[in-house]
Chain A
């Protein structure tokens, strides 16, 4: 069942989302060669708690940290640790928070120092694909209009969208109905109604869309070892235009 949130629920989700966005801003300031992903995680957790929220990922399905840190060919769900970022890396940071029992979920991929042109293009296309998807998250559209907008933009630029992992409904739980795939034909699935809240998150690969999961049972990597980028916003469906909840 897809729940529609009341204004009060949305106000909690706006708080949670704002803290997600602020956390990403804080992390962007310190991302540079030499920093470890574990240090980023510690910083994020402290910041989230200082803002009066709880880190949502810690312990969720057994995930051991407050952020997912996925470097280069890692797509999503990378576990923070001793890995040091190097010049030319790209790193996707995924952050989740809880405020008054309501969740916010957002992600962005950052450049570490100077990155190659192809990597820069991958980041731009993924960020814009997210925007294209969000523009379809309006009342009256069908769910797969979002999926189709993301896929066609990405594939027109020569990249591929991951199939095995998808976006999701969000609210009183991190993962609610419906699933929000980043691929598929338009005009399918449930009709969007105002008050539905979705985490839209294109995962875009430079090469093939095939992915595999490493032996830690979390880290998702591209099968061909090529780069992958990931951007995510939590949005509320509205008439006319979606409201982005994960903004500062």
Chain B
């Protein structure tokens, strides 16, 4: 019988802040420190050189994952802020608007 591993944040996974002054903001999981604690980035305010530490209790975890970003993070490759922004826009359905704005 397999183990239910849902609800725990994984690299590249889309999350949003449920508590704190950044409440409502979308991020990708950049680093998993423990089951409780992760570092997240959005490529705008929280960039890859300055990720935000969040308690997972204070995050909504979505099933959507930025697969490309997740792969790079898992293999230790560098991910750019632009890639993060693009991935979040895609996953939150704001991708087309992003294109229109150029």
- The residues of A with any CB-CB pair to B shorter than 8 Å are 56-57, 60, 63, 68, 76-77, 94, 96, 105, 163-168, 174-175, 179, 181, 184-185, 188, 201, 203, 210, 213, 232
B3 touches A165 (CB 8 A): yes
In Å, the complex CA distance between A238 and B16 comes to 43
Judged by DSSP, the binding face of B is: loop
Residue of B3, B10, B75 near A175 (CB, 8 A) is: B3
Determine whether the beta carbon of B2 is less than 8 Å from that of A168. Answer: yes
Over the window 1-25 of chain B, the binary record of Cβ atoms lying under 8 Å from chain A Cβ atoms (1 yes, 0 no) is: 1111110001000000000000000
State the CA gap A96–B1 with chains docked (Å). 7
Give Cα distance in the complex from A76 to B10, angstroms: 21
Of B1, B3, B4, B65, which contacts A68 at CB under 8 A? B1
A105 to B, closest residue via Cβ: B1
A141 to chain B: closest CB distance in Å?
A: 18
Q: Give the chain B neighbours of A60 by CB distance below 8 A.
A: 1
In order of increasing CB-CB distance, the 8 nearest A-B pairs are: A165-B2, A164-B6, A168-B3, A166-B5, A185-B74, A166-B3, A185-B75, A76-B2
B63 interface residue (CB < 8 Å to A): yes
Which residues of chain A come closer than 8 Å to B1, judged between CB atoms? Answer: 56-57, 60, 63, 68, 76-77, 94, 96, 105, 174-175
Bound CA span A5–B63, Å: 36
In the complex, are the beta carbons of A165 and B5 less than 8 A apart? yes
Bound CA–CA A165/B74 (angstroms)? 19
Contacts of A164 in B (CB 8 A): 4-6, 63
